[in-house]
Chain A
Amino acid sequence: MKNALKQDKTVKPGRTVLVRTWLLLALCGFVAFGALVYKLFEIQIRDVETYTRLAINQQTRSTKITASRGTIYDAKGKILAQSATAYRVVVSPAEMITNKEDPKLIAETLAGIWGDKGADFPTIMSKWNNTKSWHEVVAQKLEPDVAALVRNYKAENKLKSVHLIEESKRYYPAGNIASQIIGFVGDENKGMYGIESYYESTLRGVAGRSIRATNAKGTDMLYMQYENYYDSAQGNSITLTVDATLQYYLEKHLSQAVIDNQIRNGAMGIMMDVNTGAILAAASVPDYDPNAYNTLNDSANSLLIGAIESGKNSGSIANLSLQEGVLGTLDESTKSLLGLTTSQGHTTWNGGAVDFTPEEADQLKLNAIRAQWKSREFADSYEPGSTFKIITLAAALDAGVISESESFYCGGSMNVLGRTTPLNCWKRTGHGSQMLEQAAQHSCNVAFVNIGLRVGADLFYDYIDAFGLKSKTGLDVTGEGSSIWWSDEIFKNPQNKSQLASASFGQTFNITPLQMITAVSAVANGGYLMKPYLVSSVSAPDGTQLKSTEPTVVRQVISEQTSIKCRQILESVVSGKDGTGKNARVAGYRIAGKTGTAEKVGQNSDEYVVSFVGFAPADNPRIAVLVLLDSPSRNSGIYISGGVMAAPAVGNIFADALPYLGVDPELQGDAASRSAVVPNVKTLSTTDAKQKFEDAGFTVRVFGEGSTAVDQAPFSNVLVDSGSQVIIYTEGFKPDQTIEVPNVFGMSYNSAKAALESMGLFIRAVGVNPSESSKIVVARQSFETGSEVAFGTVVEVTLIDNDTSVMEGGRN
């Protein structure tokens, strides 16, 4: 049977087969795929963010686009800090290998193009060794012109392994001016010190990014042009309250004072708008150039470091003695590392410790560099000494415990409850009986201790608090210093008044120069303690003003009446014949102020901080100036005293600043008789010209035989001292020689005048009236000795009273 046979051959799938097929269907068709779906869910839904981030990280190359930093302007709109485009050069060893480029040739050429502005040849060669790297920085902040050379070289040779990346570079057009206030921008475009640091977030802007998709080889994904560009947002601009011109005046006179008085530990100064609390200028000497912030640009400091480096082998740093004036700029740790000790005003070298390791030498250099970055006038604290009598005076007058008509007796010393030894006045022989005004002029310690004791410890501390001397002022700087005071318990101990007594004349506590000038401004401006500030406004890159600082009155500390009384008394300290502040006088201006000479506590017994704080005009104060000179050297021959050293500097600053601020001089009385305006006599007949000069109070010398005055010396409208000999040139006679300025430093006024006039120069004296004292000397001349000036030039000399019997000063 055919059919049966066929049937026999065909085996039907049995029940087991069917059931098991069903099982396979369930397993392979559903269970397995269920597992896959779950796994896909885990990866694609649950962990999508993780994987997306990983994907983006590897598939994209993101290039940071540095935001252009905001500009910093001075009060008048002058640019102090500005960012400009610069370039970074990056080499890619990986691309160098894939494209078979010559590493040696590239390194040689690049190093040749940029010289010392980028990595040198061996450094570039070493970068090539990172064969897997795509990004090795070999030069940063290249100027556009240098970058152009690199770009041309890259283009000409079609180099794939050299890349130029745009970045931003900070320029400080004013150089050293206000360097510590501005700060600088360090690596990674981050602001360091000063405004650059404090206003980092305002100035920085928002960095942009350029993101492009790349394949695994790091080049652009072909045909998929994916590029995302996030614009960088330029930083906001800042306008300072600081006026570069005033800042220049302050720095100029501070530096001069450092040189004149052989100041060993630097100088500080602040100029404040007394009515607003705005900082108009502030500086520490030595300063630095933020364009090259890592260099010791102070030549003396460089010499010092050079001496350290050369002296460490020879075992001799004899050169250092020549640089003594700058030793003071080193901090204590540096000094001890150097093996230097300062005593009796002389820095000596302890021969044992000059064997520097290179690390130590580097550390020394670094310390010295860092020291010049700091705004010490805001950060450091000092003992204000007699300048603080302003506060004692104001507190006592305001509390009504003393009156202007009272007299105070000084016998040279006094006993104070709690002191084992009598408290001495700086003038051991005593000031005798003196009115309040005279006590201030004399800076009499005994009088002020009595005034302080009358105020009492509780009230005294309340005033200290009210003047903001116990708390930070809140100035917009990083690292504002704090004051150090006795605890209430000690200070207010009724059994021991020695702390109160010392505090009354500014000793045994520390405040910052900033606190001092802020408090003095309050005394001057009618009693209002202002919150000091450095930034007057913040503007968007397009110029719209975003924020402006309004002057903030913290509180009224003393009454208007007290303020007026204080102004009068403090003006007399400068204007009075016996005033310790007389060296701060400026012809034509009413200056008020107070001197200070404080022994540095806790350090060497022969180190002093001399200072002067003043404000002007005394009747309607506009600006206050504080100058502080740290550790003058006895070698200068100048009496160590705030009145002799710091007051002239403040006077000079006022002399420059007040006319600049539009305060007109009022030449009257003493000042009017001392100087006169030179009239214009050109084109007049010789006789008329002579007459005109004589009418103006000058003596006349005529050069030549002509009948017409063709020229004159000095020029018309300049101010020279009355009684000076002026010159008329007639036709045919016009000297064109230049004159070497003689040295009149330390001369009396009359000798200086004679010396200058004999050379054909003119004198204009500022400072103390020459007729006032027999010990008036020239402390400064406006042209350096030996400099060449035109015949008939007016040389300005600063006169000071060097009378130690009048000037409070350090013990000799």
Chain B
Amino acid sequence: MSETTALHAAQDVSDRRSKHIDIVFLALTLLILAVGLVMLLSASYAREYYTTGNPMRIFNRQVLLSAVGIVALLILTTLPETFYDKFAIISVVVSVIGLIVVLFVGTEADTGGVRAILIGPISIQPSEFAKFTVILAFAKLSVRNEKKMKKLRSTLDFKQNWKYRLKVELWYTVFPYCVILAVICGLLVLEPHVSACIIFIFITGAMMFQSGTKIRYLLILLALVALAGIFMYKTGVPGDYVKQRVVVWQDPWNTEDPVVDKWGYQTRQSLIAVGSGGLMGLGLGQSRQKHLYLPEEHNDFIFSIVCEELGFVGALLILSMFVLLIVRGYWLALRAKTKFSSLVIAGITTQLALQVFLNVSVVTNLIPCTGISLPFFSYGGSALLCQMSGMGIILALSKQPN
């Protein structure tokens, strides 16, 4: 067998590999998207009916965006690993530029903060795009740094001089992540969009963890994050909302406290929706809390409506679909041939898991209230497009041979 033949054979294998995407992952994605659309219709119907008279308005827009999202997913699926490898750094730079631009030309979101750039009828939230571009960038950095570390690790200096080793490890496995994270979080705080920072912090942490950063550094970083949190809580910098949300979280029903009474309304309404759903729920479309009681019912609090209409059983089914998708995502990461792919797949999966977890935690008051949307369910073009893109990237990087 000549070299050429061998190469050809390898190419054959690679070609064959490129033809097969993970059907299970794709099917789960589309299933969740479909269920999410149905729930969005139900959740948004009442408010749209009362306020605009067109109960289908939000649903129609989301359907259109879903179609765009599917197209994006399919396109991204066809792209080779090398494409993502090449554009990893560029894309994160573009995202950062976007985050800078939005500070100047952005429009204010109804939840406060300048978060979106309006281009005609399309509004783009750079923070959403940043979420998966940082994953690409981190993966890329991680692979490149690992190669460098590999060389350095074999040196005598590295083995004997702990100061040098510390310097190398910090330089290659801690600082690059922290710098990117700091830039992005800094820009997000300026918007301000603090809740997105939480996602970025967790994504960063998860990616550092997965890519092999030593646990001791992660613990130190974790401690720093915790200190920052305590600082914000104690001093009220950058805003009183940290404290407000913690007080509400502790007892949302303590309406004697004017702070809880004022800021806990959303949480209380969410709990009422979730709780009154009971085991089986009120039935699809039968939510009562969506009749102007629950704010953000089509957005961050859509899962409250899910719980109210479909009950504990329905909520569990939907969470199970997410779990299946997430587990399948990690499974694909474990099966990935390259570290880059593995990190990207796992990173996007972790981001998805985090969003679902944090969103449902907020809805159930497991954690203090923070603005995190539910992937595939919450209304929002940029988020949906990015999630679909993320799924597309996972599918692209996980193409397996038969």
Contacts and interface: CB of A to CB of B under 8 A. Distances in A.
B57 to A, nearest CB: 15
Given A29-B353, A222-B50, A20 B209 contact: yes
A401 interface: no
B289 interface: yes
A214 B333 CA distance: 50
Contact of B339 (A13, A214, A222): A13
A5 to B, nearest CB: 12
B152 to A, nearest CB: 15
A9 to B, nearest CB: 9
Listed residue (A10, A44, A47, A55) with the most chain B CB atoms within 10 angstroms of its CB: A44
B361 A39 contact: yes
Given A10-B338, A40-B315, A40-B316, A58 B366 contact: no
Nearest to B335: A13
A44 B46 contact: no
A224 B312 contact: no
Interface stretch (B27-35, B106-114, B182-190, B323-331): B323-331
B353 A32 contact: yes
A11 B350 CA distance: 21
Given A17-B343, A21-B210, A29-B330, A217 B312 contact: no
A222 B52 CA distance: 13
Interface string A1-13: 0110000001111
A24 interface: yes
Contact of B291 (A47, A56, A221): A221
A35 B360 CA distance: 10
Nearest to B144: A11
Interface in B344-369: 346, 349-350, 353-354, 357, 360-361, 364-366
Interface residues of B, number: 62
B49 A223 contact: yes
Given A12-B338, A29-B330, A44 B274 contact: yes
A50 interface: yes
A36 interface: yes
Contact of A29 (B146, B211, B327): B327
A216 B51 CA distance: 13
B337 interface: yes
A21 B330 contact: yes
A24 B361 contact: no
A43 interface: yes
A213 interface: yes
B354 A28 contact: yes
A54 B276 contact: yes
B371 interface: no
A25 B209 CA distance: 12
A52 interface: yes
Interface in B214-263: none
Contacts of A16: 212
Contacts of A13: 336, 338-339, 342-343
B147 interface: yes
Contacts of A59: 288-289, 291, 293
Interface in A220-239: 221-224
A35 to B, nearest CB: 7
Contacts of A216: 291-293
Nearest to B322: A33
Contacts of B122: none
B315 A44 contact: yes
A35 B356 CA distance: 12
A214 B293 CA distance: 10
B174 to A, nearest CB: 15
B339 A14 contact: yes
B267 to A, nearest CB: 12
A10 to B, nearest CB: 5
Contacts of A23: 209
A51 interface: yes
B279 interface: yes
Nearest to B346: A21
Classify the secondary structure of B's interface with A.
helix
Contacts, number: 169
A232 to B, nearest CB: 26
Given A36-B361, A48-B276, A24 B334 contact: no
B63 interface: no
B368 to A, nearest CB: 14
Interface string B300-315: 0000000100011001
A28 to B, nearest CB: 4
B154 to A, nearest CB: 15
A486 interface: no
B7 A3 contact: yes
A51 to B, nearest CB: 2
A674 B339 CA distance: 134
Interface in B177-214: 206, 209-212
Interface in A760-782: none
Contacts of A17: 210-212, 339, 342-343
B7 to A, nearest CB: 7
A155 interface: no
A762 to B, nearest CB: 82
A520 B50 CA distance: 77
A660 interface: no
Contacts of B307: 40, 43-44
B143 interface: yes
A32 to B, nearest CB: 4
Interface string A36-67: 11011101110110111011101100000000
B275 A54 contact: yes
A107 to B, nearest CB: 30
A54 B340 CA distance: 51
Nearest to B206: A24
Interface in A304-363: none
Contact of A44 (B210, B311, B333): B311
B272 A58 contact: yes
A94 to B, nearest CB: 14
Contacts of A45: 278-279, 312
B278 A36 contact: no
Interface string A162-185: 000000000000000000000000
A43 B277 CA distance: 9
Contacts of A223: 49
Contacts of A39: 361, 364-366
A12 B212 contact: no
Contacts of B336: 13
A43 B210 contact: no
A228 to B, nearest CB: 13
B105 interface: no
Contacts of B274: 40, 43-44, 51
Nearest to A1: B3
B272 A55 contact: yes
Nearest to B330: A25
Contacts of B6: 3
Nearest to A223: B49
B197 to A, nearest CB: 19
Interface in B1-59: 3, 6-7, 10, 46, 49-50
Interface in A734-792: none
Contact of A51 (B7, B211, B275): B275
Contacts of B50: 215, 217, 222
B137 to A, nearest CB: 16
B319 interface: yes
Contacts of B272: 51, 54-55, 58
Contacts of B143: 11
Given A11-B146, A12-B337, A216-B292, 14 more contacts: A17-B339, A21-B330, A21-B342, A21-B346, A24-B209, A24-B210, A36-B319, A37-B316, A40-B274, A40-B307, A43-B275, A44-B278, A47-B275, A52-B275
7 contacts: A10-B337, A11-B338, A17-B339, A33-B322, A48-B279, A55-B273, A213-B291
Shortest 7 CB-CB contacts between residues of A and residues of B: A51-B275, A55-B276, A25-B330, A28-B353, A215-B291, A216-B292, A44-B312
